[in-house]
Amino acid sequence: MAIDEGSKTSIALASILMHQRFGIRPDFVPLPIGADPNAAASDAVLVIGDRAMHPERYDRFLENWDLGNEWYRETGLPFVFAMWVGRESVASHSLATQLEAARDEGVQNIETLSQQYAPGYELSIAECIEYLSINLRFTMSRDEILGLKLFYRKALELGIIESSPSPIWPVISSFNLPQLVPI
């Protein structure tokens, strides 16, 4: 499998899903940022970020997976691709308040942001609004935490990680104050 090297999390998730679904552990080869995924000499390719915005462009492959959707289909839980976190020594109520305010401002301005940025991603404004409003979540609920714990457990079982991460401190969360969340 050719892989975008920009996300170790996505690589681990693809490994877990391939193992769960097909009982295989794919070999990985790098897919450089400028390389055309269609030209990769592999049976599958993992693209992330901007390259993943137009999966229809990768027409030589039989299936197209949205990793987050596939994880949800397998587990019934959302997948956490990214979050703001801070060590206990630097995470503060003030920092959490500032980051939550920035998040809230962005969420309140999805339409304006979509109008500004959609053309650069070759998306319609409606597609951009849908992506930001439906595909992404901007808070951590119990389900996200359970999904994160399950991901770590499966990664540990497959030897993708050597030990479960220590507790994390979510700075942006659906909680009123940052809380220590044991993983």
pLDDT tens readout for residues 135-153: 888 888 889 888 998 999 9
CATH number of 21's domain: 3.40.190.10
Cβ atoms within 10 Å of 139's Cβ, excluding its own: 14
Position 174 in a domain? no
Position 99 in a domain? no
**CB-hemisphere CA count at 13 Å for 81?**
17
CB 85 within 8 A of CB 169: yes
DSSP H stretches of helix in 109-169: 110-117, 125-130, 142-157
Position 113 in a domain? no
Better-predicted residue by pLDDT, 169 or 150: 150
Average pLDDT over residues 21-38: 88
- Give the pLDDT band of residue 167 (cuts 50, 70, 90): low
Q: Is the sign of the CA dihedral 170, 174, 178, 183 positive or negative?
A: negative
Model confidence at 125: pLDDT above 90: yes
Better-predicted residue by pLDDT, 169 or 120: 120
Give the total number of structural domains in the chain: 1
